[in-house]
Copies of this chain bind each other. A is one copy, B any other.
Amino acid sequence: MAELDSSAEAGLVAQWRELLARHAVATCMLDRQLGERFGLGMSEFEVLERLVEGAGAGDGHALRVSELAPTVHLSQSALSRLIARLEKAGLVVRAMCESDRRGIMLTLTEAGRERYEQARPVHREVLGLTLGGGFGQACEAPSPD
């Protein structure tokens, strides 16, 4: 692969630092808010969201773990344990997949859907604060509420 000339390199680094900063601030605030108020980590929320999206109208719809995996940026083992936590919390049910008995089907419980619906506005609000325009270094409350 070709070398980068120094101005391209500087631009790349600037872009990278900006990305790191945004990610750090958003992640920090999300984890704090979702954790304190709903007992959810950022990735937990992300998984619940995928399940809600997959479910659509009828809540019978289930998702295979192997389908979920590429959409959340976690290793297979981390995802496995995350699902275990969600199940222990009663937000999700693991069921054997009939057609391929190696697979696991995930279903949102009613509690899981409710938890998600409650957490969602907070999640969006944090995104608005951290991705939208001006923001500081704050990891604290998005609004004094």
Q: Which of A7-15, A32-40, A54-62, A100-108 contacts B (4 or more CB under 8 A)?
A: A7-15
Among candidates B22, B23, B70, B142, residue contacting A137 with C-beta atoms closer than 8 Å:
B70
B-side contacts of A90, CB under 8 Å:
none
B-side contacts of A143, CB under 8 Å:
1
When the two chains form their complex, are residues B26 and A131 in contact, meaning their CB atoms are under 8 A apart? Answer: no
* Interface size classification for chain A: 20 to 34
When the two chains form their complex, are residues A124 and B4 in contact, meaning their CB atoms are under 8 A apart? Answer: yes
When the two chains form their complex, are residues B131 and A12 in contact, meaning their CB atoms are under 8 A apart? Answer: yes
Q: Does A21 contact B (CB under 8 A)?
A: yes
Known contacts A1-B128, A124-B4: does B20 contact A73 (CB below 8 Å)? yes
Q: Does A132 contact B (CB under 8 A)?
A: yes
